[in-house]
């Protein structure tokens, strides 16, 4: 059955993004610090269809598996606006459902990825994303606030953290105001690497 997951890089102090986020400054400028492990890997650049990345290790295997399972994405309006101008056209190879209050026609990026704008809530977005995923899994892409909403609604089945060995000091935390009574959490996998630690957790409704 189609699962709902998220898969996020965070700093040691738990930040998902830095300060002063915006289209001019995606992720508050901290992507290089949190995602270096990914940029190093050939698997990531293969996915984008361009040359790049010199390494092939645990991290690369991890990236391939994550890509293979994802049949649709859900993200917040703010994350969408940060990326709309700057994302490579083939970053998302499946439908993306954007949570927003506005009405907007679907946007087909360069004849490839379709972004649908959903203004009737997270349950509706999830229903549509699951349908589109057609048996594959739905990835809650972010931002942190959207992941928190899905967590607190009890809708997440598992998640991956990439714990980067860096302090950011301030920014937007991935886990803020999480309902402690919602889930029993189980460690399901730990993949060490030199540049990050991949941690996989299963969530069971309490």
| Binding residues vs a copy of itself (CB under 8 A) | 12-14, 161, 163, 165-170, 173, 175-180, 182-183, 185-187, 190, 192-197, 199, 201
Cβ contact 137:74 at 8 Å: no
Question: In the structure encoding, which two tokens stand for residue 23, read together?
Answer: 């289209």
Cβ proximity to a copy of itself: between 66 and 193 the closer is 193
Q: How far is the CB of 138 from a copy of itself (least distance, A)?
A: 21
Cβ proximity to a copy of itself: between 122 and 168 the closer is 168
Q: How far is the CB of 101 from a copy of itself (least distance, A)?
A: 27
Cβ contact 159:10 at 8 Å: no
Cβ contact 17:171 at 8 Å: yes
Cβ proximity to a copy of itself: between 60 and 71 the closer is 60
Q: How far is the CB of 195 from a copy of itself (least distance, A)?
A: 8
Cβ proximity to a copy of itself: between 78 and 173 the closer is 173
Cβ contact 205:158 at 8 Å: no
Instruction: For residue 18, give Cα distances in angstroms to 12, 24, 55, 78, 169.
Output: 13, 13, 27, 14, 9
């Amino acid at each position: 059955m189609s699962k709902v997951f998220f898969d996020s890089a965070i700093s040691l102090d738990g930040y998902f993004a830095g300060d002063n986020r915006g289209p001019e400054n995606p992720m508050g400028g901290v992507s290089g610090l949190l995602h270096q492990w990914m940029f190093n890997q050939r698997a990531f650049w293969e996915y984008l269809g361009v040359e790049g990345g010199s390494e092939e290790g645990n991290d690369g295997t991890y990236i391939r598996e994550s890509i293979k399972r994802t049949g649709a994405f859900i993200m917040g309006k703010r994350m969408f606006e940060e990326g709309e101008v700057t994302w490579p056209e083939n970053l998302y190879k499946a439908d993306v459902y954007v949570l927003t209050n506005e009405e907007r026609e679907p946007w087909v990026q360069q004849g490839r990825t379709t972004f649908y704008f959903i203004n009737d809530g997270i349950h509706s977005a999830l229903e549509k994303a699951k349908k589109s995923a057609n048996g594959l899994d739905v990835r809650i892409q972010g931002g942190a606030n959207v992941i928190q909403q899905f967590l607190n609604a009890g809708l997440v089945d598992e998640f991956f953290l990439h714990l980067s060995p860096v302090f950011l000091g301030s920014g937007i935390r991935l886990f803020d105001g999480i309902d402690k009574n919602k889930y029993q959490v189980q460690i399901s996998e730990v993949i060490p690497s030199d540049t990050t630690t991949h941690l996989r957790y299963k969530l069971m409704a309490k």
